[in-house]
């Protein structure tokens, strides 16, 4: 009687090879829907163990739908914010265009920024050439740029055209002397005013040290500075 054959060792499939094979044969489950119902996959929350493939697909689809809804809400919030920003900027520029002289321009700028953008303090440091034709000394928030103030403003910009940063109490007293300083450091946005040649500086300030954070974009401040510079130059021209 021949000896019985030893059982062949049981072979196991490599999971990676199975995954690759299924990826190459995406139609494998067509006609095998019952097999799909038997498959078990991990639940996203490990505490719930395994669930059916269909349950996992439903869960994933729900997660995607909720993620898409959140993303859409973020887009809508951004659109509403941009529209509000556009309207406030438009009203600000129109008000500046109606200013009759440089002092009215400075006063309008401070009022509009306080009402529409919650900016607590504004200062316009103008080059002497912009004030030579004024019948009287400039009124706050306009000031004639002197050497000391110009050097300090240039230091705050540190070689940049515009910048947001912290503003010490000492700098507040020097650069915004018409507004009470904060108890500690505040913050500011500074931009250089130029039109062919230097025309001065515009500084927006807040008692809140985080209001004008260093990471903030300065596009609005630069745009406002360009508008204000052109209007000041226009007002400084003799009639």
Q: Report the predicted TM-score, pTM, of the whole model to 2 decimal places.
A: 0.72
Structure tokens at 158: 């540190």
Would you state the pLDDT for residue 236? 87
Among the ranges given (14-18, 33-37, 69-73, 112-116), the one the predictor scored with the smallest mean pLDDT: 33-37
Tell whether omega for the bond before 141 is within 30 degrees of 0, i.e. cis: yes
Q: Does the pLDDT of residue 44 top 70, yes or no? A: no
**Which of the following CATH numbers is that of domain 101-236: 3.30.450.40, 1.10.1740.10, 1.10.3720.10, 1.10.10.10?**
3.30.450.40
Please give the DSSP secondary-structure letter assigned to residue 31: T
Of the candidates 179, 73, 69, the one whose C-alpha atom is nearest the C-alpha of residue 123 is 179
Q: How far is CA 93 from CA 116, 124, 209, 216, in A?
A: 12, 16, 27, 22
Would you state the pLDDT for residue 176? 98
Q: Does the pLDDT of residue 152 top 90, yes or no? A: yes
Q: Does the pLDDT of residue 13 top 90, yes or no? A: no
Question: Which residues are CB-contacts of 76 (< 8 A; sequence separation ≥ 6)?
Answer: none
pLDDT tens-digit map of 170-203: 999 999 999 999 999 999 999 999 999 999 999 9
Q: Does the pLDDT of residue 52 top 80, yes or no? A: no
Among the ranges given (61-70, 83-92, 198-207), the one the predictor scored with the smallest mean pLDDT: 61-70
């Amino acid at each position: 009687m021949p000896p019985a054959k030893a059982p062949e060792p049981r072979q196991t499939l490599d999971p990676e090879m199975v995954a690759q094979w299924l990826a190459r044969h995406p139609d494998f489950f067509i006609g095998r829907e019952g097999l799909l119902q038997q498959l078990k996959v991990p639940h996203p929350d490990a505490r719930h163990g395994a669930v059916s493939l269909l349950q996992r697909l439903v869960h994933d689809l729900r997660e995607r739908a909720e993620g898409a809804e959140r993303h859409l809400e973020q887009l809508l919030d951004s659109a509403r914010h941009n529209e509000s920003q556009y309207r406030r900027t438009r009203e600000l520029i129109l008000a500046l265009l109606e200013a009759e002289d440089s002092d009215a321009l400075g006063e309008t700028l401070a009022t509009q920024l306080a009402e529409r953008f919650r900016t607590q303090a504004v200062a316009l440091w103008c080059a002497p050439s912009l004030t030579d034709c004024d019948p009287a000394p400039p009124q706050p928030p306009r000031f004639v740029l002197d050497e000391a103030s110009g050097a300090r403003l240039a230091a705050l910009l540190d070689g940049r055209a515009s910048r947001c940063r912290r503003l010490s109490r000492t700098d507040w007293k020097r650069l915004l002397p018409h507004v009470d300083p904060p108890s500690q450091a505040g913050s500011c946005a500074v931009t250089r005013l130029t039109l062919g040649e230097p025309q001065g500086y515009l500084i927006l300030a807040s008692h809140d040290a985080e209001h004008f954070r260093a990471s903030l974009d300065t596009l609005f401040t630069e745009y406002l500075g360009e508008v204000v510079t052109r209007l000041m130059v226009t007002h400084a021209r003799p009639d």
